[in-house]
């Protein structure tokens, strides 16, 4: 029977010990994110929503009255969808290959499949042009043999092609993870009922992997919508991101149109993110008991070769720019010919002997940014999944917003906010130091590590921590002995993504680099690519960037095995 | 767990401060914001540091417009000493916003450096910036490409409207490239507003693409993606010097304008800035311009006698008929840039398609005429199509400083005009194409 | 560490607008094996978690050894907890699992070694120190979970459905082991399960819970023989529930069933004429000679008979349409009941339980 009618007092926090610590952590995170994400973004919004007579929606309304902008919006959505579709054509078969088949060198295929994300800007586009451009290798061949040229890289379709080949790894990794997570019992139950082969794939396997695929597709959509580099390189400006960039850098920082476009970009990206969350639901993927045994079919001999052939056909187009960059790095003259007509090693001498600082700077910034992101991501994920502070979901939302902020906007916002303010004790504004680069990278990549940390922590079931606590381990001892070790792989994988994408970041870099000696690889490439002499050296730097990232990915792949996927996932 | 996180965060914060500390501007540092390519600024940095011990040159390389934006945004606490770009317009803009200050550069004085090149003043009459090199605008072409497509290189701007060059040309947008903007202004001033725009639009219709960076154009020609590009001479000269299969020529109707250097207002190192500017204008500094990697033209005429053989001498070039008015140019820079963008850059696909149709129709009409058929109606349609594809929606008189400034200050004025121009372009090009296609059909 | 008592007084827990646990008062004596039994959603796990310290009661008080534990975090309650999922840590081997609690208590290394080996021997896992959880069978995993809690000698052991992930044979085996461990070690044990066989086999006392409330507490035999509500009667073992009306006369108590059948009952404390439910356990129905003078003699027809190895599970239909499930012993000598056969059975009155309807 119910006891005396005592009042049940609602609490702000669970009265678990450590509540004070939670609040402190929450406050610290909120302050950090507020200072480096919310406040600069608010300044951007202020310009977009502010007229000469005060706050107004007039700019937003005016946006939709401009056919050019509306077309840009339409093109952006179209490009996003098309890039996802085309990317899926490459990613899905590869995902099946990697997730369901076991053949020698599968790990290499997996690593190669991640490389397209690492196309150093500028030089990547140049390489694409050399291979797929109007007078590139492929078209020259076609002209000489068949007398036709295919405009691969022209207009919107060129942008879509490059973006699909650039971002499909997101779809690949998420689908692979989903396929690997599918309970083999589901497949087996269907097989017993007579369904196998392609039908099994179509009716059982793929539908079960669908949520993972959707996550990857939406991530790709967001990246495509925000992509600035590709449209600029291909000189196609009827898209939202390049329009925003053009407005802000040409007309000036007070051009409301540019900021309105930024707002719309943010809205689109956030919408896609929300949709992705819904698609994935709140499924708990706790490893309770034995995990599902991986169901893979071993392939040897002729069948393994066939698998390799399929992988090669799918991966080859995506790795073309990398091939182009390598060739370009050894070339002195490569003009209107299949291959360079004059080769040289001077480019490497130039960059390795005369400008090694680009490489060191990149390592320094990217590693620091990744470390910051891993710690922040773990902290936020922990608060979200284990904490009890009310309003912690706001942290998740804020930490995800950078996905939707174009790099150039962030850079301008930082310039605006931090330039007039001296860091206490230093006597210099933040923007005069390389610290601002690390912060910009960390902020832009934080969403990935938060996702990775979240997914990883979800797999550490609460009961694992509770059993440790019941044995006498305080929450911090539990974290150190149980939670963090189990999260390591996922966190490292998340850090890897942050590292990889920071190493070739350009759009914020270009505005925030205080001086050339402090520039990273991407900036070095930009500087070199400003003249005819520099193409080769720029390409050589590009090769170094690719190697750096490829080696890093491979190393982490070996160490983290399963974990790499979680970083690219939602 | 929370405590562990907090400790980790603080540790990282400490690490980061290491990044914040060392980048202090020391006494002997000179910060230069420039849009020039690596070959140029590295050469000058090395030479200047050798000639001026105790000073370290720090380069911040950005596109011209971004550089201007940067100076604007950091005006409260300037950290740059020198602004060093090709575009005079940028300097005029900075000057009008009070972002430059006078520097002391004895080497800049006349008669060593003449007051003008052609009709263009080399230095700012108020002494706020100095011309240190001059450049001409011209056409660069890829010899292999032209050979493969059996085309002769163009000689004059007006050649660019020829049907045979359709889809083989490339240029960058004036809004993205200070140098291209000046080229566009040269054409407008040389041919007049109306006819100038006609040429720009017809040439625009022949462009294969409009590039986003000024280096995009020479890059496209060097790599052989397109046959002919509108470029500054040093792009051409340096490319030729590095062995690329390209060639370069000045049209007769060109302007030679200076590339300038100025001291930023509130520069942290004014003495260093002055010495830098003076060095650029010294004999040693000027001779650096001759080097093949740089390929620019000194402003000290006396040095050409001892320069490389066959090097163009702008003081002796017969530059026909363009009395370039820099004030006029800068008084309408925003308008010209925006017009070009909305008439050409953003509607390029439509413009190109319209001109393709016009070229095809012209050929069809010519064939019909030589076949003795009556082409009156077709010619009428064709003429109208041409007119639509070359029309500019802004009157020259209206393109004044007031409107130009409104473009910067009043977003709604700008938006209204741009919307109108965009609609104008879109409608016109669609109609032009339709009419041309009709003309072609009528001529059969 | 000596075994502690666990006391709950008026404990309630609110989840949103719904009371998951309501007014629960219990006392587990030191050394007792106390089971919380009930269907899923009845709140038994919530009670366990509150005792362990992973949830706080919204009403009432919990005491361990007489001391209130409000505000004491789980890592200071000195309790052992075994989860249904075992919650083993993938990155640690068996040795480290068992050593975990000892390390937290700063036990010196040599002693850790000794006690771990002792604990492993106790649960029969010697030689498996180096294995990881993924290399163990379900039963072995469960023993590791047990060993790591036992090694620290907690003052009470909390077990949340630890056997439900095992197959039937293993479950029976582990039941015996658990019983043996409890008898050897004498630790106060609070056991949560929905399986009434386990509850009956292991417990000193059983508490039945339904929808957050305690329905009945007592030793297994008591609760089984004298269920106080229909819920308890149906939850523990099989039961035939026969509705009828109580008729009390001088020196005699009877339940009048439909269609004229009556059953003699005893020890009922309800008033005459009360509508009641008669609980007839299948095993209480015995064969009788057709002319035997025994109370509650009934004539029945066998509808079906299933041989369960040692007993027959029969469906008997009586005059008037009543169907009873009966368990009749199968002996080599007796004849097996055949469908359609007429059978005489009798039910001892003391085996009948009468509940108000």
Please report the DSSP string for B94-117 in residue order.
HHHTT-EE----GGG-TTTS-SEE
Q: How confident is the model at residue A162 (pLDDT cuts 50, 70, 90)?
A: confident
Cβ pair A252:B69 closer than 8 A = yes
User: Residue C155 in contact with residue C76, Cβ under 8 Å?
Assistant: no
Write the pLDDT tens digit of every residue in A273-319: 788 777 666 433 322 223 345 556 777 778 888 888 888 888 888 88
Per cent of chain B over pLDDT 70 is 92
Would you say how long chain B is, in residues?
444
The pLDDT of A208-231, averaged and rounded, is 80
- Number of structural domains (chain C) is 2
Contacts of A199 (CB under 8 A, 6+ apart): none
Residue A396 is predicted with a pLDDT of: 85
DSSP tally for chain A: helices H, then strands E: 27, 8
User: Phi-psi category of A103—alpha, beta or left, where left has phi over 0 and alpha has psi -120 to 50?
Assistant: beta
DSSP A388: -
Cβ pair A289:C165 closer than 8 A = yes
pTM: 0.75
C141 touches chain A (CB under 8 A): yes
Write the pLDDT tens digit of every residue in A494-524: 888 788 888 888 878 877 888 788 889 888 8
β-pair partners for B34? B61, B84
The pLDDT of A91-108, averaged and rounded, is 81
Residue A1 is predicted with a pLDDT of: 35
Cβ pair A289:C71 closer than 8 A = no
Query: Nearest-CA distance from C123 to chain A in Å?
Result: 18
Residue A5 is predicted with a pLDDT of: 38
Of A1, A287, A482, the CB nearest to C23: A1
Mean pLDDT of chain C: 89
Does residue A11 have a pLDDT over 50? no
Write the pLDDT tens digit of every residue in C297-323: 888 899 999 988 888 899 999 877 888
Does residue C4 have a pLDDT over 50? yes
In a domain, C302, yes or no: yes
Q: How confident is the model at residue B354 (pLDDT cuts 50, 70, 90)?
A: very high
Residue with tokens 């005699």: C252
Residue A308 is predicted with a pLDDT of: 85
Q: Measuring CA to CA, which residue among B427, B442, B181 is closest to residue B328?
A: B181
The secondary structure of A276-340 as a DSSP string is HHHHHTT------SSPPPP--EE--THHHHHHHHHHHHHHHHHHHHHHHHHHHHTEEE-SSSSS-
The pLDDT of C223-238, averaged and rounded, is 89
Cβ pair A470:C79 closer than 8 A = yes
Residue A10 is predicted with a pLDDT of: 37
Q: What are phi and psi of B110, to 5 degrees?
A: -70, 160
DSSP A5: -
Q: Please report all neighbours of B, defined by 3+ CB atom pairs within 8 A.
A: A
- Mutation target to probe the C interface, by most C beta carbons within 10 A, among A471, A479, A480, A485 is A471
Q: What are phi and psi of C262, to 5 degrees?
A: -130, 150
Residue of B nearest to A63 (CA): B415
* Inter-CA distances, B69 with A247, A254, A500, B90, B129, Å: 12, 10, 30, 10, 18
The listed range with the strongest mean pLDDT (A58-67, A180-189, A469-478) is A469-478
Cβ pair A3:C60 closer than 8 A = yes
User: Residue C316 in contact with residue C302, Cβ under 8 Å?
Assistant: yes
Does residue A3 have a pLDDT over 60? no
Element (H, E) at A397: helix A393-400
Chains B and A touch (3+ CB pairs under 8 A): yes
Distance CA B191, CA B195 (A): 6
Within this chain, do residues C263 and C229 fall inside the same structural domain, yes or no? no
User: Residue B206 in contact with residue B355, Cβ under 8 Å?
Assistant: yes
Q: How confident is the model at residue A214 (pLDDT cuts 50, 70, 90)?
A: confident
- Among C234, C265, C298, residue at a domain's last position: C234
Cβ pair B6:A130 closer than 8 A = no
The pLDDT of B353-357, averaged and rounded, is 94
CA atoms within 13 A on the CB side of A151: 10
Does residue A77 have a pLDDT over 90? yes
Per cent of chain B over pLDDT 90 is 41
A363 token code pair: 């390592």
Q: How confident is the model at residue A115 (pLDDT cuts 50, 70, 90)?
A: confident
The domain made up of B25-135+257-306 is a member of CATH 3.40.190.10: yes
A132 token code pair: 């797929």
Within this chain, do residues C208 and C251 fall inside the same structural domain, yes or no? no
Residues of A in contact with C156 (CB under 8 A): none
Residue B14 is predicted with a pLDDT of: 66
Element (H, E) at C37: strand C33-37
Does residue A220 have a pLDDT over 60? yes
- Mutation target to probe the B interface, by most B beta carbons within 10 A, among A412, A518, A530 is A530
Within this chain, do residues C299 and C351 fall inside the same structural domain, yes or no? yes
Of residues B12 and B196, the one with the higher pLDDT is B196
- Mutation target to probe the C interface, by most C beta carbons within 10 A, among A9, A460, A470 is A470
Cβ pair A382:B223 closer than 8 A = no
Within this chain, do residues C66 and C153 fall inside the same structural domain, yes or no? yes
Write the pLDDT tens digit of every residue in B40-86: 898 999 999 999 888 999 988 887 877 888 888 788 888 899 999 98
Residue A413 is predicted with a pLDDT of: 82
Residue A288 is predicted with a pLDDT of: 27
- The CATH code of domain A57-287+301-329 reads 1.10.3720.10
Q: How confident is the model at residue B7 (pLDDT cuts 50, 70, 90)?
A: low
User: Residue C133 in contact with residue C98, Cβ under 8 Å?
Assistant: no
Does residue A178 have a pLDDT over 90? no
Q: Measuring CA to CA, which residue among A279, A281, A566, A280 is closest to residue A451?
A: A566
A365 token code pair: 């910034």
β-pair partners for B260? B85, B131
Write the pLDDT tens digit of every residue in B258-274: 899 999 999 999 999 99
Note down the domain range covering C308. Answer: 238-356
Residue B340 is predicted with a pLDDT of: 95
User: Residue A405 in contact with residue A41, Cβ under 8 Å?
Assistant: yes
DSSP alpha helix (H) spans, chain C: 44-52, 94-104, 109-123, 138-150, 168-185, 196-202, 220-225, 230-235
The domain made up of A20-55+346-570 is a member of CATH 1.10.3720.10: yes
Element (H, E) at B84: strand B82-85
The pLDDT of A259-263, averaged and rounded, is 78
Cβ pair A532:B423 closer than 8 A = no
Residue B150 is predicted with a pLDDT of: 92
In a domain, C1, yes or no: no
Residue with tokens 């500028």: A122
Distance CA C51, CA C32 (A): 16
Per cent of chain C over pLDDT 70 is 99
For the ranges A227-231, A236-240, B140-144, the lowest mean pLDDT is seen at A227-231
User: Residue C109 in contact with residue C144, Cβ under 8 Å?
Assistant: no
Q: Please report all neighbours of A, defined by 3+ CB atom pairs within 8 A.
A: B, C
Query: What are the contacts of A477-483 at 24+ separation with CB within 8 A?
Result: A477/C104, A478/B1, A478/C75, A479/A382, A479/B1, A479/B4, A480/B4, A481/C100, A482/C89, A483/A382, A483/A457, A483/B1
Q: Kindly report the CATH number assigned to the domain that includes residue C287.
A: 2.40.50.140
Domain boundaries of chain A, sorted by first residue: 20-55+346-570, 57-287+301-329
Of A58, A252, A379, the CB nearest to B5: A379
Cβ pair A420:B77 closer than 8 A = yes
Does residue B145 have a pLDDT over 90? yes
Residue B63 is predicted with a pLDDT of: 78
Domain boundaries of chain B, sorted by first residue: 25-135+257-306, 136-255+327-442
Taking only residues 220 to 249 of chain A, the set having a beta carbon closer than 8 angstroms to any beta carbon of chain B reads 232-233, 235, 237-238, 242, 246, 248-249
Residue C258 is predicted with a pLDDT of: 76
Residue C95 is predicted with a pLDDT of: 94
Q: Measuring CA to CA, which residue among B425, B278, B260, B443 is closest to residue B355?
A: B425
The pLDDT of A319-345, averaged and rounded, is 87
Does residue C211 have a pLDDT over 80? yes
Q: Please report all neighbours of C, defined by 3+ CB atom pairs within 8 A.
A: A
Taking only residues 258 to 317 of chain A, the set having a beta carbon closer than 8 angstroms to any beta carbon of chain B reads none
Of A335, A423, A534, the CB nearest to B244: A335
Query: Nearest-CA distance from A394 to chain B in Å?
Result: 18
B258 token code pair: 């200076």
Of A66, A235, A250, the CB nearest to B65: A250
Query: Nearest-CA distance from B153 to chain A in Å?
Result: 16
Of A378, A420, A534, the CB nearest to B76: A420
Would you say how long chain A is, in residues?
570
Of residues A20 and C30, the one with the higher pLDDT is C30
Distance CA A512, CA A518 (A): 10
Residue A525 is predicted with a pLDDT of: 85
Q: How confident is the model at residue A6 (pLDDT cuts 50, 70, 90)?
A: very low
Distance CA B318, CA B324 (A): 15
Of B23, B175, B222, the CB nearest to A514: B23
Does residue A387 have a pLDDT over 60? yes
For the ranges A368-372, A561-565, B131-135, the lowest mean pLDDT is seen at A561-565
The pLDDT of A218-244, averaged and rounded, is 82
ipTM value > 0.90: no
DSSP tally for chain B: helices H, then strands E: 17, 13
Residue A165 is predicted with a pLDDT of: 87
A58 token code pair: 């007039």
Of A66, A253, A533, the CB nearest to B415: A66
User: Residue C208 in contact with residue C223, Cβ under 8 Å?
Assistant: yes
Of residues A258 and A346, the one with the higher pLDDT is A346
Residue B25 is predicted with a pLDDT of: 42
Mean pLDDT of chain B: 86
Does residue A536 have a pLDDT over 90? no
Distance CA C311, CA A34 (A): 74
CA-CA-CA-CA dihedral for A375, A376, A379, A380, to nearest 10: -150
Within this chain, do residues C145 and C291 fall inside the same structural domain, yes or no? no
Q: Kindly report the CATH number assigned to the domain that includes residue C216.
A: 3.40.50.300
Does residue B21 have a pLDDT over 60? no
Residue of B nearest to A439 (CA): B16
Within this chain, do residues C220 and C268 fall inside the same structural domain, yes or no? no
Residues of B in contact with A371 (CB under 8 A): 12
Q: How confident is the model at residue A228 (pLDDT cuts 50, 70, 90)?
A: confident
CATH class of B136-255+327-442: alpha beta
Distance CA B62, CA B32 (A): 10
Residues of B in contact with A483 (CB under 8 A): 1
Residue with tokens 């005489």: C344
Query: Nearest-CA distance from B376 to chain A in Å?
Result: 36
Within this chain, do residues C261 and C165 fall inside the same structural domain, yes or no? no
Does residue A566 have a pLDDT over 70? no
Does residue B15 have a pLDDT over 70? no
Per cent of chain A over pLDDT 70 is 86
Taking only residues 352 to 391 of chain A, the set having a beta carbon closer than 8 angstroms to any beta carbon of chain B reads 364, 368, 371-372, 375-376, 378-379, 382, 386
Cβ pair A472:C75 closer than 8 A = yes
Residues of A in contact with C210 (CB under 8 A): none
Residue A557 is predicted with a pLDDT of: 66
Q: What are phi and psi of C286, to 5 degrees?
A: -120, 150
Residues of B in contact with A485 (CB under 8 A): none
Residue with tokens 């993972």: A212
């Amino acid at each position: 029977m119910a006891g005396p009618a005592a009042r049940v007092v609602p609490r702000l926090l669970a009265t678990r010990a450590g509540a004070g610590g939670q609040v402190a952590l929450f406050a610290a995170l909120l302050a950090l994110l507020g200072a480096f994400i919310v406040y600069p973004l608010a300044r951007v919004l202020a310009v977009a929503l502010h007229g000469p007579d005060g706050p107004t929606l007039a700019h937003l309304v005016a946006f939709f009255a401009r056919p050019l902008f509306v077309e840009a919006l339409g093109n952006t959505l179209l490009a996003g969808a098309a890039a996802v579709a085309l990317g899926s054509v490459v990613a899905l078969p590869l995902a099946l290959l990697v997730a369901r088949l076991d053949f020698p060198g599968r790990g290499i295929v997996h690593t190669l499949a991640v490389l397209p994300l690492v196309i150093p800007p500028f030089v990547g586009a140049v390489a694409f042009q050399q291979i797929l451009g109007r007078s590139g290798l492929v078209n020259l061949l076609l002209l000489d043999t068949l007398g036709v040229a295919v405009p691969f890289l022209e207009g919107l379709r060129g942008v879509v092609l490059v973006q699909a080949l650039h971002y499909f790894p997101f779809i690949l990794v998420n689908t692979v993870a989903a396929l690997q997570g599918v309970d083999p019992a589901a497949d087996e139950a269907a097989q017993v009922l007579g369904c196998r082969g392609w039908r099994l794939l179509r009716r059982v396997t793929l539908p079960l992997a669908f949520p993972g695929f959707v996550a990857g597709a939406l991530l790709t959509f967001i990246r495509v919508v925000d992509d600035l580099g590709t449209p600029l390189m291909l000189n196609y400006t009827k898209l939202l991101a390049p329009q925003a960039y053009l407005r802000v850098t040409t007309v000036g920082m007070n051009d409301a149109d540019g900021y309105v476009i930024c707002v719309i970009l943010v809205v689109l990206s956030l919408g896609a993110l929300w949709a992705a969350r819904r698609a994935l639901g709140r499924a708990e993927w706790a490893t309770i008991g034995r995990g599902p045994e991986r169901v893979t079919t071993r392939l040897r001999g002729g069948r393994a070769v066939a698998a390799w052939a399929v992988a090669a056909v799918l991966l080859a187009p995506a790795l073309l720019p990398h091939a182009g960059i390598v060739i370009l790095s050894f070339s002195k003259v490569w003009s209107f010919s299949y291959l360079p007509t004059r080769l040289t090693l001077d480019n490497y001498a130039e960059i390795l002997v005369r400008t090694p600082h680009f490489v060191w700077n990149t390592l320094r910034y990217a590693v620091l940014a990744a470390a910051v992101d891993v710690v922040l991501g773990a902290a936020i994920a922990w608060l979200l999944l284990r904490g009890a502070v009310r309003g912690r979901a706001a942290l998740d939302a804020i930490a995800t917003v950078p996905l939707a902020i174009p790099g150039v906007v962030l850079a301008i916002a930082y310039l605006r906010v931090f330039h007039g303010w001296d860091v206490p004790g230093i006597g210099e504004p933040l923007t005069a130091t390389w610290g601002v680069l690390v912060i910009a990278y960390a902020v832009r990549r934080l969403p990935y590590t938060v996702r990775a940390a979240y997914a990883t922590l979800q797999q550490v079931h609460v009961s694992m921590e509770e059993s440790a606590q019941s044995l006498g381990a305080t929450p911090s001892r539990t974290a150190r002995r149980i939670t963090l070790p189990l999260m390591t792989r996922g966190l490292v994988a998340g850090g890897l993504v942050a590292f990889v994408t920071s190493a070739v970041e350009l759009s914020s870099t270009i505005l925030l680099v205080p001086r050339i000696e402090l520039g990273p690889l991407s900036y070095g490439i930009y500087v070199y690519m400003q003249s005819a002499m520099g193409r080769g050296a720029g390409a050589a730097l590009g090769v170094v960037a690719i190697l750096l990232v490829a080696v890093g990915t491979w190393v982490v792949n070996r160490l983290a095995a399963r974990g790499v996927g979680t970083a690219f996932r939602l | 767990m929370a405590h562990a996180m907090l400790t980790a965060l603080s540790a990282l914060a400490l690490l980061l401060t290491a990044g914040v500390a060392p980048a202090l501007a020391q006494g002997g540092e000179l910060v230069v914001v420039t849009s020039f390519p690596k070959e140029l600024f590295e050469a000058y940095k090395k030479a200047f540091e050798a000639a001026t011990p105790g000073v370290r040159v720090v380069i911040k390389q950005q596109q011209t417009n971004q550089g201007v934006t940067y100076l604007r945004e950091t005006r409260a606490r300037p950290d740059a000493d020198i602004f060093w770009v090709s575009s005079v317009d940028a300097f005029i803009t900075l000057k009008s916003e009070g972002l430059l200050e006078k520097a002391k550069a004895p080497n800049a004085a006349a008669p060593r450096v003449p007051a003008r090149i052609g009709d263009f003043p080399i230095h700012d009459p108020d002494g706020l910036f100095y011309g240190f090199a001059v450049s001409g605008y011209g056409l660069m072409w890829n010899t292999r490409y032209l050979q493969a497509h059996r085309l002769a290189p163009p000689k004059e701007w007006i050649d660019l409207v020829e049907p045979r060059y359709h889809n083989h040309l490339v240029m960058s947008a004036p809004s993205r490239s200070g140098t291209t903007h000046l080229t566009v202004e040269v054409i407008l001033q040389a041919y007049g507003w109306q006819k100038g725009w006609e040429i720009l639009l017809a040439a625009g219709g022949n462009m294969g693409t409009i590039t986003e960076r000024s280096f995009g154009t020479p890059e496209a020609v060097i790599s052989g993606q397109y046959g002919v590009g509108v470029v500054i001479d040093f792009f051409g000269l340096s490319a030729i010097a590095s062995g690329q299969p390209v060639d370069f020529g000045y049209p007769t109707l060109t302007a030679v304008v200076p590339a300038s250097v100025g001291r930023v207002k509130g520069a942290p190192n004014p003495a260093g800035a002055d010495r830098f500017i003076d060095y650029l204008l010294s004999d040693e500094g000027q001779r650096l311009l001759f080097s093949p990697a740089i390929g620019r033209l000194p402003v000290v005429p006396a040095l050409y006698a001892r320069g490389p053989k066959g090097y163009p001498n702008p003081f002796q070039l017969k530059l026909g008929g363009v009395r370039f008015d820099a004030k006029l140019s800068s008084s309408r820079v925003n308008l010209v840039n925006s017009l070009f963008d909305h008439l050409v850059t953003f509607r390029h696909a439509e413009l190109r398609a319209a001109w393709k149709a016009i070229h095809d129709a012209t050929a069809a009409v010519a064939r019909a005429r030589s076949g003795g058929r009556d082409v009156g109606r077709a010619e009428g349609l064709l003429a109208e199509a041409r007119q639509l594809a070359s029309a500019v929606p802004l009157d020259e008189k209206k393109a004044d400083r007031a409107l130009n400034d409104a473009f910067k200050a009043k977003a709604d004025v700008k938006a209204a005009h741009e919307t109108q121009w965009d609609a104008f372009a879109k409608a016109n090009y669609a109609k032009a194409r339709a009419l041309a296609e009709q003309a072609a059909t009528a001529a059969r | 560490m000596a075994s502690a008592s666990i006391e709950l007084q008026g404990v309630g827990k609110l989840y949103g607008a719904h009371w998951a646990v309501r007014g629960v008062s219990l006392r587990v004596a030191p050394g007792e094996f106390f089971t919380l039994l009930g269907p899923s959603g009845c709140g038994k796990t919530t009670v366990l978690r509150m005792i362990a310290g992973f949830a706080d009661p919204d009403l009432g008080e919990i005491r361990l050894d007489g001391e209130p534990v409000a505000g004491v975090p789980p890592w200071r309650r000195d309790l052992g907890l075994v989860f249904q999922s075992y919650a083993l840590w993938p990155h640690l081997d068996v040795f480290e699992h068992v050593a975990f609690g000892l390390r937290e208590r700063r036990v010196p290394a040599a002693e850790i070694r000794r006690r771990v080996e002792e604990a492993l021997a106790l649960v029969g896992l010697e030689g498996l120190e180096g294995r990881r959880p993924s290399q163990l069978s379900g039963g072995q995993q469960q023993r590791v979970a047990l060993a790591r809690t036992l090694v620290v000698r907690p003052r009470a052991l909390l077990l949340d459905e630890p056997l439900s992930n095992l197959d039937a044979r293993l479950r029976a085996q582990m039941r015996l082991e658990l019983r043996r461990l409890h008898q050897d070690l004498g630790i106060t044990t609070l056991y949560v399960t929905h399986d009434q066989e386990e509850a009956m086999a292991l417990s000193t006392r059983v508490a039945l819970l339904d929808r957050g409330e305690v329905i009945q507490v007592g030793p297994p035999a008591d609760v089984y023989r004298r269920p106080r509500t229909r819920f308890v009667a149906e939850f523990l073992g099989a039961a035939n529930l026969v509705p009828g009306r109580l008729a009390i006369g001088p020196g005699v108590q009877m339940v009048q069933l439909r269609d004229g059948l009556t059953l003699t009952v005893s020890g009922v404390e309800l008033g005459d004429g009360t509508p009641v439910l008669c609980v007839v356990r299948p095993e209480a129905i015995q064969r009788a000679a057709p002319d035997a003078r025994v109370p509650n003699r009934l004539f029945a027809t066998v509808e079906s008979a299933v041989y369960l190895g040692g007993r027959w599970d029969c469906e008997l239909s009586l005059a008037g349409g009543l169907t009873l499930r009966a368990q009749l012993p199968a002996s080599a000598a007796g004849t097996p009941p055949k469908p359609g056969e007429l059978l005489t059975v009798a039910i001892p009155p003391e085996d009948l339980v009468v509940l108000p309807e």
